[in-house]
Amino acid sequence: MNPDTRKPVNFAALSISTLALSVAIALGLSTPASADELDAKRLVKAMSEFLAAQQALSFNYDATLEVVTPEDQILALASSGKVELKRPDKIHATRAGGFADVDMSFDGKKLTILGKNLNIYTQVEIPGSIDHLVDVMRDKYDRPLPAADLLLSNSYDALMEGVEDIKDLGSGVIGGVECDSLAFRAKDVDWQIWIAHGDKPYPCRYVITSKRVPNGPSYSIQFSNWKSGKAVAASGFEFKNTSKATAVKLEDLKGTGDLPEHFTKGESK
- Once rounded to an integer, what is the mean pLDDT over residues 192-206? 98
Please state the domain count of the chain. 1
Q: Where residue 264 falls among pLDDT bands split at 50, 70, 90?
A: low
92: which residues sit within 8 A by CB, 6+ positions away? 83, 84, 85, 103, 104, 105, 106, 236, 237
Q: Is 29 domain-assigned?
A: no
Residue 28 inside a domain? The answer is: no
Residue 27, in any domain of the structure: no
The pLDDT of residue 146: 84
Taking only the tens place, the pLDDT of each residue in 212-229 is: 888 899 999 999 999 999
Q: Has residue 129 got a pLDDT over 50?
A: yes
* CATH number of 140's domain: 2.50.20.10
At residue 15, the pLDDT reads 39
Does 233 fall in a domain? yes
One-letter amino acid at 189 equals V
pLDDT, position 35:
75
Quote the pTM value.
Answer: 0.84
Contacts of 262 (CB under 8 A, 6+ apart): 3, 6, 7, 8, 9
Q: What is the pLDDT of residues 6-19, one digit of tens each?
A: 444 444 434 333 33
Judge whether 195 lies within some domain. Answer: yes
Confidence class for position 168, pLDDT limits 50, 70, 90: very high
Structural domain of residue 71, as residue ranges? 11-22+35-257
Determine contact, residues 103/114, Cβ cutoff 8 Å: yes
Q: What is the pLDDT of residues 67-107, one digit of tens each?
A: 999 899 999 999 999 999 999 999 999 999 988 899 999 99
Q: What is the pLDDT of residue 10?
A: 45
In our burial notation (b when 16+ CB lie closer than 10 A, e otherwise), range 28-51 reads eeeeeeeebbeebbebbbebbebb
Looking at the domain assignment, is residue 262 inside a domain?
no
* Position 80 in a domain: yes
